[in-house]
Amino acid sequence: MSTTSIRKTPLLEVRDLTVTYAGGARAVRGVNLEVDAGRKLGIAGESGCGKSTLALALLRLLPAGTKVTGEILLNGEDVLAMKWGQVRAVRWAGASIVFQGAMHSLNAVHRIGDQIAEPIVLHRKTTQAAARKRAGELLEQVGLPAARADAYPHELSGGQRQRVMIAMALACDPGLIIADEPTTALDVMIQAQILRLIEQLVSEQDLGLIMISHDLAVLSDTCDRLAVMYAGRVVEQGPAAEVYERAHHPYSKALSGAFPRIGDPASRFAPRGLPGDPPDPSALPAGCTFHPRCTVALDSCTTQDPELRVAGPGREAACVLVGPDGVSAPQGAEEARSTS
């Protein structure tokens, strides 16, 4: 893989991806994403907005009966159009996943060394011994002694297990790593360790990274770009820090406001949140899916579902109140109507 080719085609390009579960839940609705090698994309959003679904769809790991449309171009090839044999070849070697909840993502009855070695043997066609040796190296790379390869998952702490997952994800030198909430349920200190590790590995190996989290603060700290999802849609996208600091979409705003900044007197004794309940993906509200919870919703929002629109340099947001200059449109309802 030459560097020039990477420049031309992005590592991963998702076009108009839609996922409908067998039950009729439209978990992902027309998502477009792009990740270049060496770049880090963060996907944020509340629980149930379709983040994991999106991640699984990338490697066609969704359960049978799920309808997936659109295009997923991994190194220019459409994963959705591949034969199963090709898909299997792409899995882990092309892109690997660090799953949410490492406890359950590791097989409890196999030693972690074997679990790391497994994809190496499969994709690199090495001997078992060589694969095990490599597994040991990978463990060291994520800061675990190689001797721990003999351990079973339950013998490790949560942070260690997550490291094992990361080591495993690196096993076949994939171009892209998808980390689905790699630090949820971890302690602050461990979380910091893991994030630092991921960052370091990604920058060392020039990998593409998609990091999924509901913690906007963490994502803005770690990633280059940030996509905020709501009800299966990307509602705002842009450079990470900007989106976090100055969100345009009311949802992103509420989300970023929910993270208190210590030392900021404004948030002292003033926790902020987002009233209302997340929508049910199998019965989405008409119009803008966020309008029932939106404090600045207009009448038109109940009927009209806005597309992503340019909202400043490198930024997009899906809200009628967002203007192309990147500034939020005026808050007043009359004015908003007049502009639209």
Partner 1 sequence: MTTESMPASTPGAEVPAPEESGPEEAKSAGALARARKRRSVARFWREYRSHRGGLWGLAGLILIALIALCAPVLTGANAQSVTEAPGGALESPSAEFPLGTDQFGRSVLALLIWGARVSLTVGLLAAFLCVAIGTVVGIVAGHFRGWYSTVLMRVTDWFLVMPTLVLAIALATVMDRSLWTVIIAIGVTTWPTTARLVRAQTLAVESRPYIERARALGGGHGHIMLRHVLPNVMPLVLAQTTLVISSAILTEATLAFLGLGDPTITSWGGMLQDAREAGAVSAGDWWYLAPPGIAIALVALAFTLCGRAIETVLNPKLGVAR
Partner 2 sequence: GVPLGAAPQQAQAADSGKTLTVAVAQSIDSLSPFLAQKLLSTSVSRLMYDFLTNYDPKDNHAVPGLATKWEPSADKLTWTYTIRSNSKWSDGEQATAEDAAWTFNKMMTDEAAAQANGSFVTNFKKVTAPSPTQLVIELKEPQATMAALDVPIVPKHVWEKVKDFSKFNNDKDFPVVGNGPFVLSDYKVDQYVKLKANKDFWRGKPKFDELVFKTYKDQDAAVAALRKGEVSFVAGSPALTPAQAASLKGDANIKVNEGPGRRFFALATNPGAQTKDGKKFGNGNEALLDQKVRQALFLSIDRKTIIDKVFQGHAVEGQGYIPPRFSEYAWQPSSGQSLAYDPAKAGKLLDQAGYALKDGKRVGKDGKALDLRILCHATDPNDKAIGKYLKEWWGKLGVGLKVECLDDVSVPWYAGEYDLAFDGWSVNPDPDFVLGIHTCAALPLKAKASAATDNFICDKKYDELYKKQLAEYDTTKRADLVGQMQSWLYDSGYMSVIAYPNAVEAYRTDQIKSITTMPEAAGNIYGQDGYWSWWSAVPADSDGASGDSDSGSSSTGIVIGIVVAVVVLAGGGFLLSRRRRTTADERE
Partner 3 sequence: MTADSTPALVKQADAEGPAPAGSPAVRGPRARNTQAYLKYVAAKIFGAAVSLFAVLVTSFFLFRLIPSDPVKQMTGGRPVSAEQLDSLRRQLGLDQPMWQQFTSYVGDALTGDFGTSFQYHAPVVDKITEALPATLLLTGTAYVLYSALGIWLGTRTAWRNGSKSDRFNTALALTLYSVPSFWLGLLLIIVFAVGVGPIPGMFPTGGLESGNESGFAYVLDVAHHMVLPVITLVAVGYAQTLLVMRSSLLDEMGSDYLTTARAKGLRDDTVRRKHAVPNAMLPTFTLMFVNLGHVVAGQILVETVFSWPGLGGLFYQGLSVPDLPLVQALFFVFATAVILANTLADLLYPLLDPRVGR
Ligand X SMILES: Nc1ncnc2c1ncn2[C@@H]1O[C@H](COP(=O)(O)OP(=O)(O)OP(=O)(O)O)[C@@H](O)[C@H]1O
Which residues lie near partner 1 (CB under 8 A)?
21-25, 63-65, 280, 282-283
- Is the CB of residue 225 less than 8 Å from the CB of residue 42? yes
Rounded CA gap, 174 and 296, in Å?
Answer: 43
Rounded least distance, CB 63 to partner 2, Å: 9
In the window 63-82, what residues touch ligand X (CB under 6 A)?
Answer: 63
92 binds partner 3 (CB under 8 A): yes
- Give the bridge partners for 71, in sequence order: 15
CA–centroid distance for 26 within its chain:
18
Rounded CA gap, 153 and 102, in Å?
Answer: 9
Rounded least distance, CB 103 to ligand X, Å: 14
In the window 209-228, what residues touch ligand X (CB under 6 A)?
Answer: 214
In the window 48-107, what residues touch Mg ion (CB under 5 A)?
Answer: 52
Rounded to the nearest 10 degrees, the angle between the axes of helix 112-124 and helix 158-170 is: 10
- Is the CB of residue 161 less than 8 Å from the CB of residue 142? no
Binding mask 36-65 for partner 3 (x = CB under 8 A): --------------------x--x-x----
Which residue lies nearer to partner 2 by CB, 86 or 128? 86
Rounded least distance, CB 165 to partner 3, Å: 8
Rounded CA gap, 173 and 150, in Å?
Answer: 22
Query: Which uninterrupted H or E stretch holds 102?
Result: helix 102-105
Rounded to the nearest 10 degrees, the angle between the axes of helix 158-170 and helix 188-205 is: 10
Q: Using the structure block, give the residue that is written with the tokens 């949410």.
A: 100
Rounded least distance, CB 210 to Mg ion, Å: 13
Which residue lies nearer to partner 1 by CB, 64 or 262? 64
The footprint of partner 2 (CB under 8 A) covers 60, 64, 84-85, 87-88
Binding mask 124-163 for partner 3 (x = CB under 8 A): --------------------------x-x-xx--------
Which residue lies nearer to Mg ion by CB, 219 or 301? 219
50 binds ligand X (CB under 6 A): yes
290 binds partner 3 (CB under 8 A): no
HSE, CB side, 13 Å, CA atoms: give it for residue 166. 28
Q: Is 338 exposed, middle or buried (0-12, 13-18, 19+ CB in 10 A)?
A: exposed
- Contact residues for partner 3, defined by CB under 8 A: 56, 59, 61, 87-93, 96-97, 99-101, 103-110, 118-119, 122-123, 150, 152, 154-155, 168
